[in-house]
Amino acid sequence: MSWNEDTGDDDGTGIRERLLMPAEVAALFRVDPKTVTRWAASGRIDSVQTPGGHYRFPESAVRDQLRPARRRAAQPGAAPSPVRACS
């Protein structure tokens, strides 16, 4: 199995979690993939690193980050506010 498909971890449920690549996460947040990589490096979003040093993102961590943004967007009169990268 490749890194972008599966963590290889089994939490006892028999279900393995899918890992997303920076471009996939970037598309969900509508940001550049480099921004997602900076979030990972700064600890703003959970990630794992491949042996080659590339970041991969557990799907559950990405969903957890998306939920607050979607809640804010659903509030009447509220503008959507995506997760911002550290400068």
| Token output for 38 | 């900076």
CATH of 19-74, one of 3.90.79.10, 3.40.50.300, 1.10.1660.10, 3.10.450.50: 1.10.1660.10
What are the pLDDT digits (tens) for 29-71?
A: 999 999 999 999 999 999 999 999 999 999 998 998 888 766 6
φ/ψ of residue 20, rounded to 5: -100, 150
Per-domain boundaries in the chain: 19-74
What string of DSSP letters covers 7-65?
Answer: -----SSS-PPPEE-HHHHHHHHTS-HHHHHHHHHHTSS--EE-TTS-EEEEHHHHHHH
What are the pLDDT digits (tens) for 7-19?
A: 555 555 667 889 9
What is the reported pTM? 0.64
| Token output for 36 | 């997602």
